[in-house]
Amino acid sequence: MGMLSERREPVSRPVEPPFSPILLAGLALAVVPPRLLQPLFDAILAVVRRRHPDILDRLSDFPNAVIGIDPVDLPFVLVLEPWPEQPRLQVHRDFELVQASAVIRGPLEMLFDLAEGRIDGDAAFFSRQLVFEGDTEVVLALRNAIDGAGINLEEDFAATLGPLARPLLRASNIGGRVYRRLAEDMGKISSALLGPLLRGSNTQSARIAELEQQVAELRRGLKARGRG
């Protein structure tokens, strides 16, 4: 099992965080010490253990794994130790002091979508929106374990919150609508700012493709002349 810290992998985040409300929330969270967020993640792990014990069961072949999860639009990272006796999900500022077997990186929304099975992990990987480093076997096992559990975050929290579930879910639905509106508006701002740049870049790309085509044709012509 590879240890990322020992292998001195680059510490940069290869996935660019999308311009989204999560990114803005992340900026606000940058001043919050990770230890203050820890109780939230302790609660999340408790829900997973109670509602989806099969996740840890499917990871039981990797009793010493340490999996880094990097939501690239947030100013903290998570470290999952799916150890059968005492699993842990810890919050850290970064992976500097973590001996991780593997690290998974992607925008938070994509990680939620993966957890709920709304998008396919292989497709996210093929499109390079999701990246990982380290022990591929551990990453694959985690992906399959989570996908196979049939997680539905809303139902999970409803089951956990008891009588508080209904009002909190209503608040969460309103929050979801506000979030989607905000994300849409930020998308428009992003397009307005980047549109001219992208147009210029597209024109240049088209010109480069055209030149490459001409070079290929010239090469073919030269080869044919050489044979003749």
Nearest alpha carbon to residue 69 among 114, 6, 25: 114
8 counts as binding another protein under rule CB under 8 A = no
Both tokens of 126, joined, read 């093929």
Nearest alpha carbon to residue 80 among 70, 63, 66: 66
Report in angstroms how near the CB of residue 103 gets to another protein at its nearest.
10
20 counts as binding another protein under rule CB under 8 A = no
Distance, in Å, from the CA atom of 123 to the CA atom of 71, rounded to the nearest integer, reads: 18
**Binding residue for another protein, selected from 46, 63, 126, 180, defined by CB under 8 A:** 126
Residue 9: how many CB atoms within 10 A of its CB?
Answer: 15
137 counts as binding another protein under rule CB under 8 A = yes
Is the Cβ of residue 34 or residue 83 nearer to another protein in the bound state? 83
Q: Which residue is associated with the tokens 């997680």?
A: 151
Is the Cβ of residue 47 or residue 119 nearer to another protein in the bound state? 119
Pairing of strands 88-92, 131-134: unpaired
**Binding residue for another protein, selected from 111, 121, 156, 157, defined by CB under 8 A:** 121
Half-sphere exposure of 60 (CA within 13 A, CB side): 8
**Binding residue for another protein, selected from 4, 104, 111, 138, defined by CB under 8 A:** 138
Instruction: Considering only residues 40 through 69, tell me which ones interact with another protein, judged by CB under 8 A.
Output: 54, 58-59, 61-62
Q: Sign (positive/negative) of CA torsion 133, 134, 136, 138?
A: negative
70 counts as binding another protein under rule CB under 8 A = no
Residues linked to residue 20 through DSSP beta bridges, in sequence order: none
Report in angstroms how near the CB of residue 129 gets to another protein at its nearest.
10
What is the binding site for another protein (CB under 8 A)? 2, 9-10, 12, 14, 54, 58-59, 61-62, 114, 117-123, 125-128, 131-133, 136-145, 147-150
